[in-house]
Each structure stands twice: as C-alpha cells, then as structure tokens.
C-alpha cells in the first residue's frame, strides 16, 4: 500500500477557502474531495461534538480539513461564522431548506457579506418541491429516479449501498457545481447558490439509460437488458470455491477472446440470440464452476476477455494493479483511498488525518483574521479542544 500522502506542489485548488457546516452524508465527502485537491476546508462543528470525546468525528471523509467549534444559536457564534464566510470562496451546508436562513446564515446574509461567495447546498430533495422539507435517506431519494428499479434481480430491486445517490448523484454533482460557480465568480466577481439535490443528480446519471429507453433499446423489465444482468455475457458467476467472477465482454471481439479462454464449445448459442440467453448463461456457469477463482484469474490474466475477480474491501487494498498505481494510501495507520483524479502539475494530497472537533479553532480564527473572535471566545460561543472537561 502506498504512503503517497504529500507533494512538493500544492493541489489545483490551493488558495481556495471553504467553510463547511458539519453534518453527515454526501456534503462531508464533497468537501473531502475539495480538501484532497488542495482547498483549505474549515469544518464548523457543534459544541456537542466538542464535549463528546469518545465520538471525535475522525471519519476518513473529514481528512485534510480543520475543525473549529461554534455555537450557531448564539449571536457571537453567528458573527464569527459570518466573519469566516466573508473570507471564504465557498460555503457548504446540508441542512433542511430554511435552517441556515433561520440562523441568519442563509444565502442572502452570506452573499450580502461576500458577493463572490459560492454557496453550496446539499439536500436529498432539493430546495423546492413538495418533498423539500421532509426527511429522507439515499434509498428513498433514488427510488423515485427510476434507477433503483433497474438494479437487482428479476424478482426485486437491490440496494446499491449509498454510493449511487449520496455520493455519485449528490457529492459529485455538488463538487461539479461548486467548481463551475468558482469559475464564474473568478470571471465576473459574482457568486451564486448551487442547489445540489440527490434526486436531481441521480436522475442525471441515468441520461444514457433514459435515452436507450426512449429509443427502444432498454426495457423497464429488470434483469432483461444488456447491462443489468439480463445478458449472460454481462453477469457475475460463481467459481468452484465459492468465489465470484465478473464476465463483461460486450463487444464480439472481446467475447470471442472470453469464449476461447473459457473453452466454451463451438456449437454454443450465438452471443446476441436473446431467445437462447438462458441456455448460454447455464453453459457459462457450468464452465466457470469447474475451477477456483484463483485459477480463472490466471487463465484470463493479461487478456482482453473483460473478466475480473470480485474482491472484498480488504482484498482490494492488496490488489496488484491498485498498489502499482498507489490507489490506496495509509495515513496514521488507517488505510484509505488516495486522492483522485490525478494531476501532472498539481497533484492532490492528504495533509493530515481527520481532526477531532475543535482541534483548530484558534488556529483558524488567527489564520483567517476573523474579527470579533475574542468576544466570541469570551462568551463561550467559540470553543476549542483544550476546553473539554
């Protein structure tokens, strides 16, 4: 596993200041990505997080950030938050619609103090619509996009972790919006609100599938299509030792390579004869079931057959290709994915592990030269880690 943690060059977002209102879900992942790319991300945590020393917030998704603790229900706490916002390029919040407005930290107040600010809002349902104010989680958000229906067996949908909605449809779209708005602000001096809803982003991820549906190339019947497990040459098969092998040679030339190495019989059903797909699937499973996972890995090594073993998380950390590329790093003994994507001139880096809540309170206030900090500290609206107990 790579120790790739630092660089002699700053990341491509060096100099960008980000304020994050601490929370859970896709927003912390989005700001982790910004931190990996060199941004100075300051996470505003709650006073309660400071007092709970057992739950110190050291999730990997908070790596590279700095933390200070503010009481946002206290006037001095709000003043300090506005002082940080005035000096920031980006703000990220993931509260329900209307919460930051009630705190006096909504877009009107924030952009009034800093007209160039990019105000990123991460929610499940978005800032408007009949469900905007209701609670939810990833699974419910993606259910209405049509994409959850496409994933699973013919009998029922399955749960794709929370990667499809929270992180792909949520965090990644928030980051895309932030970067686009930063570009606009740099050209015009005008900031704006980025409304990133998981439902919007996840639906957008399905653009190709919706296009195929309209063109007649996709059926709303699950496990009946080219890339949803319907095709026997795009599926997962069980080896003799209980391992799993992905088989995905969609193109005929790759399928021929797979058939040759798997030693499928010459009189096998045609690849695209849908009527005989069940027969072909049974044939492939019989062949894959004759050898162990390790044996098949050697058979297909270096080929264009588009066959790969299904690794568990710990096996993935030791994968030969991943380690050759440094895809995983170890930071203070904690293995984790390395920053991605990669840049030739300004590589991303992980500057430090996720901090305890309030670990950088005074450091940030000094670095960012926030006015009113002394009064806020005196009032107890601003707290630092040393004050625990």
Instruction: Output phi, psi for 119, to 5 deg.
Output: -105, 100
Parallel, antiparallel, or unpaired for β 328-331 and 334-337?
A: antiparallel
Q: Are residues 96 and 21 in the same domain?
A: yes
Residue 223 lies in a domain: no
pLDDT score for 49: 64
Task: Give Cα separations from 102 to 38, 72, 92, 270 (angstroms).
Answer: 32, 11, 16, 64
In a domain, 219, yes or no: no
166: DSSP letter: I
State the residue range of the domain holding 265: 235-323
Catalytic residue among 40, 79, 166, 200: 166
- pLDDT tens digit string along 81-123? 999 999 999 999 999 999 999 999 999 999 999 999 999 999 9
Helix axes 172-188, 198-205, angle to 10 degrees: 100
* Number of domains composing the chain: 2
How much is the pLDDT for 50? Answer: 57
Q: What is the DSSP-derived secondary structure letter of residue 193? A: E
Residue 6 in domain: no
Please give the structure tokens belonging to residue 285. 């499973």
Which CATH number is 373's domain given?
3.40.50.10540
Q: Which of 271, 301, 323 is the endpoint of a domain? A: 323
Phi and psi at 336, nearest 5°, equal: -165, 160
Q: What is the dihedral of CA 200, 204, 92, 356, to 10 degrees?
A: 110
d(CA 253, CA 128): 49
Among the three residues 299, 323, 347, which one is the final residue of a domain in this structure?
Answer: 323
- Whether residue 75 is contained in a domain is answered as yes
Based on the domain organization, do 303 and 345 belong to the same domain? no
* Rounded-to-integer distance, Cα 360 and Cα 182, Å: 26
* Residue among 389, 373, 374, 377 nearest 80 (CA): 373
What is the model's pLDDT at position 280? 98
Write the CA distances from 254 to 258, 260, 288, integer angstroms.
Answer: 6, 10, 17
Which of 291, 323, 355 lies at the terminal end of a domain, its last residue? Answer: 323
pLDDT at 1: 63
3-state secondary structure at position 200 = helix
Q: Is 166 a catalytic residue?
A: yes
Positions in the chain whose pLDDT score sits under 50: 3-7, 53-57, 387-389
**Same structural domain, 255 and 169:** no
Asked if 125 and 253 sit in the same domain, the reply is no
Please check whether residues 264 and 345 belong to one and the same domain: no
Which residues are paired to 21 by β-bridges? 44
Token digits of residue 263: 């030693």
Q: Is 137 a catalytic residue?
A: yes
- CATH code at position 270: 3.30.1540.10
For residue 176, which phi and psi values (nearest 5 degrees)?
-60, -45
Identify whether residues 288 and 148 lie together within a single domain: no
Contacts of 155 (CB under 8 A, 6+ apart): none
CA distance 235 to 271: 13
Which one from 137, 241, 270, 332 is the annotated catalytic residue? 137
Q: How far apart are the first and last CA of the chain?
A: 39
What's residue 387's pLDDT? 43
Query: Using CA atoms, how far apart are residues 16 and 8, in angstroms rounded to an integer?
Result: 18
What is the C-alpha separation between 90 and 63, in angstroms, rounded?
Answer: 18
CA distance 71 to 88: 19
């Amino acid at each position: 596993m790579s120790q790739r943690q630092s660089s002699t060059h700053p990341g491509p977002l060096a100099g960008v200041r980000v304020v994050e209102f601490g929370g859970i879900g896709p927003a912390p992942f989005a700001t982790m990505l910004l931190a990996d790319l060199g941004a100075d991300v300051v996470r505003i945590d709650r006073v309660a997080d400071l007092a709970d020393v057992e739950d110190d917030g050291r999730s990997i998704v908070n790596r590279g950030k700095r933390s200070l603790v503010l009481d946002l229900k206290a006037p001095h706490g709000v003043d300090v938050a506005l002082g940080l916002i005035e000096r920031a390029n980006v703000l990220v919040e993931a509260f329900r619609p209307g919460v930051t407005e009630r705190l006096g930290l909504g877009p009107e107040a924030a952009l009034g103090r800093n007209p160039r600010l990019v105000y990123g809002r991460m929610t499940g349902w978005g800032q408007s619509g009949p469900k905007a104010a209701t609670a939810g989680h990833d699974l419910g958000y993606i259910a209405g996009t049509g994409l959850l229906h496409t994933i699973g067996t013919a009998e029922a949908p399955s749960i794709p972790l929370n990667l499809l909605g929270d992180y792909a449809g949520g965090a990644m779209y928030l980051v895309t919006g932030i970067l686009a708005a930063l570009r606009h602000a740099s050209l015009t001096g005008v900031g704006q609100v980025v409304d990133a809803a998981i439902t919007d982003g996840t639906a957008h991820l399905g653009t190709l599938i919706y296009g195929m549906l309209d063109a007649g190339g996709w059926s709303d019947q699950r496990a009946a299509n080219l890339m949803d497990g319907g095709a026997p040459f795009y599926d997962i098969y069980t080896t003799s030792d209980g391992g799993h092998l992905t088989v995905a040679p969609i193109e005929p030339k790759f399928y021929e390579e797979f058939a040759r190495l798997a030693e499928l019989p010459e009189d096998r059903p045609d690849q695209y004869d849908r009527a005989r797909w069940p027969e072909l699937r049974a044939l492939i499973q019989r062949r894959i079931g004759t050898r162990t996972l390790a044996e098949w890995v050697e058979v297909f090594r270096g080929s264009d057959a588009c066959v790969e073993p299904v690794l568990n998380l710990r096996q993935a950390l030791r994968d030969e290709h991943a380690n050759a590329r440094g895809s995983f790093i170890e930071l203070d003994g904690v293995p984790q994915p390395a920053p991605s994507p990669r840049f030739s001139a300004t590589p991303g880096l992980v500057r430090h592990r996720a901090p305890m809540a309030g670990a950088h309170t005074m450091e940030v206030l000094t670095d960012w030269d926030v006015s009113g900090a002394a009064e806020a500290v005196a009032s107890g609206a601003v707290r630092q880690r040393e004050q625990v107990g």
